[in-house]
Amino acid sequence: EPATAREAGGATIEFRGLRRSFGAAVALDGLDLTAHPGELLALLGPSGCGKTTALRMLAGFEHPDSGQVLVDGKDVTRIPAHRRDAGMVFQSYSLFPHLTALDNVSFGPRMRGVGQAERRARAAELLELVGLPQLADRFPHQMSGGQQQRIALARALALRPRVLLLDEPLSALDAKVRLNLREEIRRLQQELGITTLFVTHDQEEALSMADRVAVLRSGRLEQCAAPEELYARPATAFVAEFVGTMSRIPATRAGQDEVEVLGRRLPVDGAVPADGELDVLVRPEALRIVIDGEGASRVVNAAFLGAITRLTVRLGDGTEVKIDVPGHAASGFPVGSSATVSFPEHPVLVDRRAA
Ligand code: ATP
């Protein structure tokens, strides 16, 4: 074992063609994914897409029907959980209720036969690292949810693993605590350089914390990219609509790589589907709106969100779209007013309209 948590560094993690079914339910359908050393990789996707199953395979709690899990190039698929080099934090507080924070954190090292003095020194280092040295003698029921999750994090790091697995660790916490812990986990993870897989169904959490985000759909990888790229250049309509807000506006084919939408011809990003009815997908910050008292569109709702106000606007054909305007400008877009909505001159993302 490395001498300190900081020296452990991070491993390379590879999933190769992982498949796993539970009866008729296909949890993983050929998952290929690599996490680089020191990276925080978020696994994002709708409920049931296989995120937790993938994580449990890395921990060794679950085994694939076929495919491999590699850590630093070594096949660990058949290695039992207790011999793997991974720390894990779950959604619900999983601390031992009858042990103090210090004893919870020292538990793993004790099981591995680490001597008492070394155990205490190590636990103290970790409690310091998660910012809670003053809670060493408290029991879990004497701590808040956020504090318990920090202790759980310290416990997961006590064996100085080179892989950290986080399964929705923040979803049971209230909004404010969640935001603080996001930052703290990220800072700690970067400081330790530990390769981290973070399972979440919260896209904002994934985008704000991760180096890269892997979007899973029905047990397969849909796209894996840095947050900015995922947002700006989604590879599929599924990713586009799962990450961030997207509106759909009916469009018509106007050539091989052009569509007509809101009375304007625009170039298409990618190929125009050859048949079927088309929609353009558009982000709320991409559309322009002018209140002119005579346009065919109408503002039907305005949600003030601080820095921005998100308008819901009904277009002439009845389609509703979201459009962002600066938060302080909300009074210039009164609900009920007539408006004209337009696209800037940028390539647009096109998808077949669902039947
Ligand atoms: P969630 O966000 O709801 O936790 P998830 O993306 O983590 O979902 P998994 O928990 O990996 O998804 O589950 C994937 C699929 O496999 C689901 O259809 C689930 O019902 C099924 N599944 C997972 N584990 C088991 C099990 N032990 N027994 C039966 N079915 C299972």
Do 216 and 68 share a structural domain?
yes
What CATH number should be reported for the domain holding residue 43?
Answer: 3.40.50.300
Model confidence band, residue 346 (pLDDT cutoffs 50, 70, 90): confident
Ranges 38-42, 124-128, 253-257, most confident: 38-42
Buried-state track 119-138, b at ≥16 Cβ within 10 A, e below 16: bbebbebbbebbebeebbeb
In this structure, which residue's CA is closest to atom 27 in ligand 1?
22
CA of 201 to the centre of ligand 1 (A): 13
CA of 53 to the centre of ligand 1 (A): 6
Model confidence band, residue 6 (pLDDT cutoffs 50, 70, 90): low
In this structure, which residue's CA is closest to atom 31 in ligand 1?
22
DSSP 289: E
Checking ipTM against 0.90, whether it exceeds it is yes
In this structure, which residue's CA is closest to atom 29 in ligand 1?
22
Buried-state track 213-234, b at ≥16 Cβ within 10 A, e below 16: bbbbbebbbbbbbebeebbeeb
Ranges 212-216, 255-259, 270-274, most confident: 212-216
- Choosing from 175, 209, 239, the residue where a domain stops is 239
For residue 115, what are the contacts with CB-CB under 8 A and spacing of at least 6?
none
pLDDT for 330: 86
What's the gap between Cα 35 and its chain centre? Answer: 14
Do 231 and 253 share a structural domain?
no
Do 331 and 231 share a structural domain?
no
DSSP 348: B
Q: Give the number of other Cβ atoms within 10 Å of residue 276's Cβ.
A: 11
pLDDT 10s digits, 327-342: 988 899 999 999 999 9
pLDDT for 1: 62
For residue 209, what are the contacts with CB-CB under 8 A and spacing of at least 6?
40, 42, 182, 185, 186, 198
Can you tell me the mean pLDDT for 257-265? 91
Taking CA atoms, 325 is separated from 281, 309, 333, in Å, by 18, 5, 9
Do 82 and 64 share a structural domain?
yes
pLDDT 10s digits, 131-182: 999 999 999 999 999 999 999 999 999 988 999 999 999 988 888 899 999 9
Res 209 pLDDT > 90: yes
Do 190 and 87 share a structural domain?
yes
CB of 19 shorter than 6 A to ligand 1: no
- Choosing from 239, 266, 295, the residue where a domain stops is 239
Buried-state track 40-54, b at ≥16 Cβ within 10 A, e below 16: bbbbbbeeebbbbbb
Do 57 and 150 share a structural domain?
yes
Percent of the chain scored above 90 by pLDDT?
Answer: 79
Res 261 pLDDT > 80: yes
Domain of 111 in residue numbering reads as 5-239
Atom of ligand 1 nearest to the CA of 45: 6
